[in-house]
């Protein structure tokens, strides 16, 4: 392979690193905000919670924009025919395995592992937030029913959602 083609591959590798770094940063911001959201729920600070929602929406929008950047990068790489056809992000990671292995630190692999870890933490924290909200809604329903004199019993299913019974 000519040096020019190798340099082109290296350039695309560095662009992929930039995209993955940005994904990690944005997902970390989202995770931090999700944790703060839980603390805000515990404090019952509805005003602060309402202020957080546009920030969360903005971060999610930036992640969506970055998804488009990643898709464009994959399309450009596919146009060059430097690698076998790349369809998914995992294909992109596989295409750059050689560069990662030649580096003293496998940067792209490490960034991807970090990204997956952050995403799992966000999912776990979102589950905690949802459970708190479900319990709060149940408590509010019980208080409301106390005022009306009607009593409905509610239990949680395996999915964390409530099920009503009489």
Is the C-alpha dihedral spanning 96, 97, 103, 106 positive or negative?
positive
pLDDT given at position 29: 98
- 156: in domain: no
Give the pLDDT of residue 165. 56
**Would you say residue 72 lies in a domain?**
yes
For tokens 């964390």, the residue is: 160
In a domain, 149, yes or no: no
Mapping DSSP to helix (H, G, I), strand (E, B) and coil, where does residue 153 land?
Answer: strand
Is residue 145 included in any domain, yes or no? Answer: no
Question: What pLDDT is stored for residue 164 in this prediction?
Answer: 60
Q: Is residue 52 part of a domain?
A: yes
Within a domain: residue 137? no
16/145 Cα distance (integer angstroms): 55
Q: Which domain holds residue 60?
A: 3-130
Buried b (16+ CB within 10 A) or exposed e, 154-163: eeeeeeeeee
Q: What is the CATH number of the domain that holds 125?
A: 1.20.58
Question: Could you report the per-residue pLDDT of 60-92, keeping only the tens digit for each?
Answer: 999 999 999 999 999 999 999 999 999 998 999
How far is Cα 132 from Cα 5, in angstroms, rounded to an integer? 54
Output the pLDDT for position 103.
87
- pTM for the whole thing? 0.81
CA torsion 109→73→82→89, rounded to 10°?
40
Q: Is the residue at 144 inside a domain?
A: no
Is residue 147, in this structure, part of any structural domain at all? no
Per-residue confidence (pLDDT) for residue 126, from 0 to 100? 94
- The list of the chain residues with pLDDT below 50 reads 166
Tokens linked to 10: 């290296």
Q: So what's the pLDDT on residue 137? A: 80
Asked if 59 and 43 count as a contact pair (C-beta separation under 8 A), the reply is no
| Number of domains observed in the structure of the chain | 1
């Amino acid at each position: 392979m000519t040096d020019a083609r190798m340099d082109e591959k290296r350039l695309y590798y560095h662009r992929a690193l930039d995209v993955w770094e940005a994904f990690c940063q944005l997902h970390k911001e989202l995770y931090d905000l999700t944790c703060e959201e839980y603390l805000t729920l515990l404090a019952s600070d509805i005003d602060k919670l309402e202020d957080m929602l546009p920030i969360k929406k903005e971060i999610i929008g930036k992640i969506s924009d970055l998804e488009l950047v990643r898709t464009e990068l994959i399309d450009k790489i596919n146009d060059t025919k430097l690698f076998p056809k790349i369809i998914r992000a995992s294909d992109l990671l596989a295409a750059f395995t050689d560069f990662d292995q030649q580096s003293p630190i496998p940067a792209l692999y490490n960034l991807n592992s970090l990204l997956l870890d952050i995403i799992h933490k966000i999912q776990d924290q979102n589950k905690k937030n949802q459970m708190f909200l479900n319990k709060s809604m149940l408590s509010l329903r019980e208080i409301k029913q106390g005022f009306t004199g009607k009593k409905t019993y509610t239990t949680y299913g395996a999915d964390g959602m409530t099920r009503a019974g009489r």
